[in-house]
Structure 1
Amino acid sequence: MAAVKMITIDLDGTLLRSDGTVSDHTVAVLQQARKKGVVTAIATGRMYQTARPYGERLQLGDSPLLLFSGGLIETLESKKVLYQKGIPEEDSRPLLALAKEKGWQMQTYIDDVLRVAEDGPWIKDYQRITRCAYDVCGDAFYTPQGACNKILSRGEHDELEKRRDLIEERFPGRFNILFSAPTFLEIMPPGIDKGQGIRRLGELYGIGTESIMALGDSQNDLDMLKAAGLPVAMANASDEVKAAAAYVTASNDDDGVAAAVEKFVL
């Protein structure tokens, strides 16, 4: 196994405990890894606004953040954009028109601003989880100004599966659609996933994927785990995610990230 030169860490269900916090022990272990010269990067479906506090909590300095599942790579402190690919308006507008017709909850991310058509329980729940501010735009929501980094739909899992199937039927090949949690349907540009994201991140830092340790727990982490030289799943991950890992660490509530870094890096 190649020496680990980069660690990429998912947030929800991986780095973050169930209460949304990160332990002092995990912070200390990741700081030890950084002192050894190991690049440490958050790899998340979240936007900069809601990922930044955790980068600061980990004291990552100007380390890269892999945001929107790889659609944006941006440095933590200087906010330098190293890579970006969004959903163009000619693709997002017909999708949002379909959402309006069907009455689907949707939210867009453009220039680090989260927008919705109307307030409601799903966006309030999202705000509770992520502590993210959002703009209620009314009908203007359905005419996005600029490329969307991501479009997210919230709902019960069975309903979201039907939405996914209809979107793929109506717009074949125009989006990459994955679940990041049972009630989170992530809609991204084609070719964007965390696996491609860590490959690009490795290229930017001159590090091959064989030297990347990736940690995750959900379906949108699968591509990242498959691309990494050392894929690590959390004990709380699904069986599908565990099957893609070379090692299963402790759960997110039991400092599983720290345990894996201590075992393979320190």
Structure 2
Amino acid sequence: MIAKYRLLALDMDGTLLNDEQQITPKTVEWIKKAMDAGVHVCLSTGRTSRGAMPYVEQLGLDTPMIMVNGSEVWRTPDELYRRSLMDVALVKKMHEIAEEYGTWFWACSVDGVYNRENWDGDIEGREWLKFGYSTEDPDIRHKLLMQLQDLGGLEITNSSPSNLEINPLGINKASGIREVCKLLGLEMSQVVAVGDSLNDLAAIQQSGFGVAMGNAQEVVKQEADAVVATNNNDGIAEVIQKYILAEVEARAGRASEK
């Protein structure tokens, strides 16, 4: 019996991974059960492919992947399908804003991640995928947000309440999932998307079934179809057990009654 939901798109930090940056044995077990039932399991993360790869290998995934909040879509873990680069002029401006406020920043390029500590100033010599700021000061964060919105051409989200993450306008996890669906011959209605932060919001809103983790930001919970346990309490296992495989069993039961 084929599952109603054929693609499970998983955020990593705060969702698939617990606070020790591990996938628990119970979560691994239920992901394997989903895969055995014919469900495609896809990582949908703000991380680079390099940062995600150990977990891809741990789970034995060979499905498409969404990396860097959608700036990269991989056909398989070894084959890049599409890459969306940031305007170099915008990266320059975002770096200037970081210097103006003296705030922590990082920037993902194709060749690596650069931040305040290893910044070498070579903006034009690299291909950029994402820019980010982190500050515990809500006033500075608000001022950063206002300046970024004024720049235009940017997709602004976060991966925690204390940061801002910036991708090219229109590039997010939802746009990445749409491309993965095309690669797999699926519809968005067949997707379960799970996450905890604003960079998961579009995916949760636009997928067939959107799930917020128990530790998710409040706005994400409000927009989700369901809220499950936290990342430290096997929330992903709950998603699979309750909303994916229970549906398979129910449909099998109905089929046997006919």
SS of 2:159 mapped into structure 1: strand
Percent identity of equivalent pairs: 29
For residues 221 and 98 of structure 1, what CA distance do their matches in structure 2 show? 25
Q: Deviation per CA, 1:133-189: give whole Å up to 9, x if none.
A: xxx133x24x342331101112224122211111222x1x22111121022210110
For residues 52 and 111 of structure 2, what CA distance do their matches in structure 1 show? 11
State yes or no: 1:191 paired with 2:173: no
Q: Deviation per CA, 1:19-67: give whole Å up to 9, x if none.
A: 211111111111111122211001111111111112122221x222211
Decide which of 192, 209, 213 is 1:213's aligned counterpart.
Answer: 192
Q: Deviation per CA, 1:89-121: give whole Å up to 9, x if none.
A: 1322233234334433322111140112x42xx
SS of 1:11 mapped into structure 2: coil
Decide which of 195, 201, 211 is 1:222's aligned counterpart.
Answer: 201
Partner residue, 1:177: 156
Cα separation, partners in 2 of 1:7 and 1:166, compared to 1, 3 Å: same
For residues 77 and 84 of structure 1, what CA distance do their matches in structure 2 show? 14
SS of 2:219 mapped into structure 1: helix
Whether the 8 Å CA contact 1:152–1:186 is kept in 2: the answer is yes
Partner residue, 2:37: 36
For residues 203 and 119 of structure 2, what CA distance do their matches in structure 1 show? 34
Which runs of structure 2 are paired with 1:117-196 in the superposition (5 Å)?
118-119=116-117, 136-138=118-120, 140-141=121-122, 143-158=123-138, 159-169=140-150, 171=151, 173-196=152-175
For residues 157 and 100 of structure 1, what CA distance do their matches in structure 2 show? 16
Whether the 8 Å CA contact 1:10–1:215 is kept in 2: the answer is yes
- 1:202 deviates by 0.9
Query: Structure 2 length normalisation: TM-score?
Result: 0.87
Partner residue, 1:200: 179
Query: Structure 1 length normalisation: TM-score?
Result: 0.85
For residues 205 and 157 of structure 1, what CA distance do their matches in structure 2 show? 43
For residues 196 and 233 of structure 1, what CA distance do their matches in structure 2 show? 19
- 1:214 deviates by 0.7
Partner residue, 2:19: 18
Partner residue, 2:63: 63
- Which is worse superposed, 28-37 or 7-16? 28-37
For residues 112 and 252 of structure 1, what CA distance do their matches in structure 2 show? 30
- 1:243 deviates by 1.5
For residues 70 and 163 of structure 1, what CA distance do their matches in structure 2 show? 22
Whether the 8 Å CA contact 2:94–2:148 is kept in 1: the answer is yes
Matched AA of 1:35: D
Cα separation, partners in 2 of 1:71 and 1:218, compared to 1, 3 Å: same
Which runs of structure 2 are paired with 1:50-129 in the superposition (5 Å)?
50-60=51-61, 62-75=62-75, 77-78=77-78, 80-116=79-115, 118-119=116-117
Whether the 8 Å CA contact 1:89–1:145 is kept in 2: the answer is no
For residues 137 and 53 of structure 2, what CA distance do their matches in structure 1 show? 28
**Number of matched residues?**
242
Partner residue, 1:264: 243
Decide which of 192, 214, 226 is 1:247's aligned counterpart.
Answer: 226
